[in-house]
Amino acid sequence: MGGTAELQVEESTIPGLKVVHLPVHRDERGWFKENWQREKMVAAGLPDFRPVQNNASFNAQRGTTRGLHAEPWDKYISVLSGEIFGAWVDLRPGKGFGRLFTTHMGEGQAVFVPRGVANAFQTLAGNTVYSYLVTEHWTDAARAGYSYVNLADPQLRIPWPISLDAAVISKADREHPLLAEAKPLQPKKIAVLGGSGQLGRAFAVLAQRDERIALYTRAEADLLSPGFASSLDLSNCSHVVNAAAMTAVDRAQTPPGSAEAWRVNAVAVRELAARCAEQGVPLVHVSTDYVFDGAAREVDEQHPIAPAGVYGQSKAAGEQAVLAHGVNYVVRTSWVIGQGNNFVSTMRRLAEQGIGPRVVDDQFGRLTFASELARGIMHLLDTGSDPGIYHLQGSGESASWYQIAREVFALCGYDPDAVHPISTQEYALGKPELAPRPANSTMDTAKLQATGFAQLPLPELLEQFLHASRVKP
């Protein structure tokens, strides 16, 4: 079958399965084609496919039929000689399970097959050579991750050009299960480091309904341990989310705390970014408003970083290590509220104990609930948003810590006037190791919203949080 004058990528009826029409240059000697050309094909619409192994299958007889096999990796198939009829069945869990797509292929066509889509072909000419590039090295152990469906499944009714009774088929392929018995091939995992922190616990809630999320606690991925990243097995991971950090901003100003902050927030992040790049796995790194000096009332992703304290400096260094790899994400946030110790929980506890706290009234920003932060990160991954820096913060007007404390007291049924305002300068008296805080921590989130992420109202989230975590008598 002939090719096209220009490279074209066509969507199929199975999501992620793409048909590639290749230019084939012919003359009296034969033909030539660029069978795989990453730069051109990614520009034309293929994923940034990075194969590690190339296999070829020679099929001597017309009617040779192989499949249907769904494998735990992506692959790119093409015909080097002859002609085939190809059939693909979606074996990924979800509404598309069992969806069929078929097409004829010659030297002018190729197909990108995503992980979890079963592949089969039937040769329509003798001496057909079939080639496929794959993103993982094949091993005997890898076969355990396969899923299969029968070539003759009556529910699929694949229109094979040559009857399967007359086809050349292996015994194993004839005995594959019917679609009704085929096991869905689960997607790759999203590894979340820092599984016991506030953000990690929010991801744990999402993991109850999203089997892709795999949590790693410090026991399983300790960023303080030199060389920790080299031991991470990322072969079955689609992404890594680094929700682990040294966040004790005041202790980071001390010599031992400074060493820990630089180790966890900078050195370990650089090692993690290198490991992810080596394995071809995009990294999502969670960063902070402390990379800014707080002079501007609101900052977007392009605003120059200027960290004032050790914590912010170490996080800024981690950002740069992550952004050195073009497929990665940096998600900056601030004032995170989730399960664990946080400002809102502390204010409620003080209200219940009858204590009127003194709270700074000259630092402004927005709360970010860990549930929203986790949801926003998953949104970026699920929508295939462009890598780079994103600001993810609560919605609404900027407020001071003092204003937020008053709101917490009021929502809990206590007198908000029990909260007393104090300046940052007054609060710092007698605290020589207090880290500098940004006076303004308000972030422009327009870039994130442009990806289609709809933020939930902050007042509603605050009320829900206080209700869900209310201390029972």
Read off the pLDDT of each residue in 80-95 and give the average, rounded to a whole number.
96
| CA proximity to 111, closest of 185, 53, 46, 54 | 46
Minimum mean pLDDT range among 72-81, 236-245, 460-469: 460-469
Indicate the number of domains in the chain: 2
Asked if residue 201 and residue 176 are part of one domain, the reply reads no
Three-state DSSP class for residue 432: coil
Give the model's pLDDT for residue 363.
97
Asked if residue 218 and residue 114 are part of one domain, the reply reads no
**Domain containing residue 148: CATH number:** 2.60.120.10
Name the phi and psi angles at 207, rounded to 5. -65, -20
Q: How far apart are CA 7 and CA 24, in angstroms?
A: 10
Asked if residue 151 and residue 24 are part of one domain, the reply reads yes
| CA proximity to 468, closest of 365, 350, 370, 393 | 370
Asked if residue 386 and residue 304 are part of one domain, the reply reads yes
How long a stretch of residues is the chain?
473
Q: How far apart are CA 15 and CA 397, in angstroms?
A: 40
Pairing of strands 30-33, 24-27: antiparallel
**Does residue 1 fall inside a structural domain?**
no
Structure tokens at 322: 């992550």
Asked if residue 196 and residue 174 are part of one domain, the reply reads no
Residue 163: is it exposed, middle or buried by C-beta count within 10 angstroms (0-12/13-18/19+)?
exposed
The alpha-helical segments, DSSP class H, found in 149-306 are 171-174, 198-207, 255-262, 268-279
| CA proximity to 251, closest of 310, 199, 294 | 310
Selected catalytic residue, list 21, 76, 130, 132: 132
Domain termination site, one of 160, 181, 202: 181
Domain termination site, one of 148, 181, 214: 181
402-427 confidence digits (pLDDT tens): 999 999 999 999 999 999 999 999 99
> Would residue 132 show up in a list of annotated catalytic residues for this protein?
yes
Give the model's pLDDT for residue 279.
87
Cα distances from 468 to residues 176, 396, 455, 471, in angstroms, run 49, 22, 20, 9
Q: How far apart are CA 403 and CA 2, in angstroms?
A: 70
Give the model's pLDDT for residue 50.
84
Cα 426 from chain centroid?
43
Three-state DSSP class for residue 315: helix
Asked if residue 436 and residue 386 are part of one domain, the reply reads yes
Asked if residue 237 and residue 135 are part of one domain, the reply reads no
Give the model's pLDDT for residue 59.
97
**Residue 97 near residue 2, CB atoms below 8 Å:** no
Position 4 pLDDT exceeds 80: no
Q: How far apart are CA 46 and CA 193, in angstroms?
A: 30
For tokens 């660029």, name the residue.
34
Domain termination site, one of 165, 181, 197: 181
Residue 384 is part of which domain span?
Answer: 189-468
Pairing of strands 117-123, 65-70: antiparallel
Give the model's pLDDT for residue 182.
95
Spatial neighbors of 305 by CB under 8 A, at least 6 apart, are 291, 292, 316, 319
Q: How far apart are CA 435 and CA 433, in angstroms?
A: 6
From first CA to last CA, the distance across the chain in angstroms is 77
Asked if residue 213 and residue 344 are part of one domain, the reply reads yes
**Residue 294 near residue 304, CB atoms below 8 Å:** no
For tokens 């209200």, name the residue.
351
Cα-trace Rg, the chain: 28
Read off the pLDDT of each residue in 267-275 and give the average, rounded to a whole number.
96
Read off the pLDDT of each residue in 289-305 and give the average, rounded to a whole number.
97
Q: How far apart are CA 176 and CA 149, in angstroms?
A: 5
**Does residue 370 fall inside a structural domain?**
yes
**Does residue 2 fall inside a structural domain?**
no
Minimum mean pLDDT range among 60-69, 230-239, 342-351: 230-239
Asked if residue 216 and residue 160 are part of one domain, the reply reads no
**Residue 328 near residue 322, CB atoms below 8 Å:** yes
The structure's pTM equals 0.84
Read off the pLDDT of each residue in 40-63 and give the average, rounded to a whole number.
94
Selected catalytic residue, list 21, 69, 176, 285: 69
14-51 confidence digits (pLDDT tens): 999 999 999 999 999 999 999 999 999 999 999 988 89
Q: How far apart are CA 364 and CA 4, in angstroms?
A: 59
Asked if residue 169 and residue 205 are part of one domain, the reply reads no
Position 473 pLDDT exceeds 50: no
Asked if residue 218 and residue 135 are part of one domain, the reply reads no
Asked if residue 216 and residue 159 are part of one domain, the reply reads no
> Would residue 239 show up in a list of annotated catalytic residues for this protein?
no
**Does residue 338 fall inside a structural domain?**
yes
**Does residue 22 fall inside a structural domain?**
yes
Residue 159: is it exposed, middle or buried by C-beta count within 10 angstroms (0-12/13-18/19+)?
exposed
Pairing of strands 237-242, 189-193: parallel
Q: How far apart are CA 195 and CA 215, in angstroms?
A: 5
Give the model's pLDDT for residue 86.
98
**Does residue 3 fall inside a structural domain?**
no
Read off the pLDDT of each residue in 178-196 and give the average, rounded to a whole number.
95
**Does residue 473 fall inside a structural domain?**
no
**Does residue 251 fall inside a structural domain?**
yes
